[in-house]
C-alpha cells in the first residue's frame, strides 16, 4: 500500500540476521571490526562446467556484478596465458552473465582452470590472496580455481 523512504540502511528482521558482514576498519589508528549490511556485489566469476563434444571442449561459467558494464572475462588453463572468453550477448545488465571458451587442444589428464572478470572501470576480480579478511560467505567473490579431468 505504501513505500517507506529512509536516510539510513534498512536493518529489518532478515537484513539484520542474514545479510550482514564483518569488515576490519581503522578508527583513529585502532583496528576494529564493524558489522555492515550487504549492499553492492563485487565482481565475481566462476567456471561451472566443461563439456566435451566430438573431441572439442567448451568451458562454461557465469559472472555476477553490480550492473557496471563488463570489459572482459578471461580463463586461464594450467599455467598458460589468460584467454578471452565470449560473454553471452543475451545477458542483461543486472542478470547473471554466462560466458564460454572453446578449448580445442585439451590433452588427456588433470587440468586446473580459473576465470576472472574485468569491468569497464578497470576493476579486476580479486584473487583469494587479495581478500585475507573474507570472514563471511558474502565476501566469497575471489577467483575460484577448478580442477577437471580430461579423458
Bridge partners (DSSP) listed for residue 46: 62
Q: How many domains does the chain have?
A: 1
For residue 3, being part of any structural domain is answered with: no
pLDDT, residue 106, reads 94
Mean pLDDT to the nearest integer, 93-106:
90
How sure is the predictor about 136, in pLDDT bands with cuts at 50, 70 and 90?
low
Mean pLDDT to the nearest integer, 89-101:
86
User: What does the pLDDT look like over 15-40, one tens digit per residue?
Assistant: 766 777 777 778 899 988 877 777 77
* Grid cell 565476501 in the structure block, residue: 139
pLDDT, residue 58, reads 97
* Grid cell 564483518 in the structure block, residue: 22
Element (H, E) at 16: helix 13-18
For residue 35, being part of any structural domain is answered with: no
Q: What totals of helices (H) and strands (E) does the chain contain, helices first?
A: 1, 10
For residue 10, being part of any structural domain is answered with: no
- What CATH number does the domain containing 80 carry? 2.60.40.650
How sure is the predictor about 129, in pLDDT bands with cuts at 50, 70 and 90?
confident
The parent domain of residue 135 ranges over 44-150
For residue 87, being part of any structural domain is answered with: yes
For residue 19, being part of any structural domain is answered with: no
pLDDT, residue 125, reads 95
Amino acid at each position: 500500500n505504501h513505500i517507506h523512504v529512509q536516510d539510513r540502511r534498512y536493518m529489518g528482521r532478515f537484513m539484520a540476521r542474514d545479510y550482514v558482514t564483518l569488515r576490519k576498519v581503522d578508527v583513529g589508528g585502532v583496528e576494529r571490526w564493524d558489522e555492515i549490511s550487504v549492499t553492492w556485489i563485487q565482481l565475481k566469476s566462476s567456471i561451472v562446467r566443461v563439456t566435451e563434444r566430438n573431441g572439442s571442449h567448451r568451458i562454461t561459467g557465469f559472472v555476477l556484478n553490480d550492473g557496471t558494464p563488463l570489459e572482459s572475462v578471461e580463463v586461464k588453463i594450467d599455467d598458460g596465458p589468460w584467454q578471452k572468453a565470449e560473454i553471452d550477448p543475451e545477458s542483461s545488465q543486472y542478470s547473471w552473465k554466462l560466458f564460454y571458451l572453446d578449448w580445442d587442444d585439451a590433452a588427456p589428464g588433470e587440468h586446473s582452470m580459473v576465470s576472472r572478470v574485468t569491468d569497464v572501470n578497470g576493476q579486476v576480480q580479486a584473487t583469494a590472496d587479495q581478500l585475507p579478511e573474507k570472514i563471511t560467505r558474502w565476501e566469497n567473490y575471489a577467483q575460484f580455481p577448478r580442477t577437471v579431468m580430461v579423458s
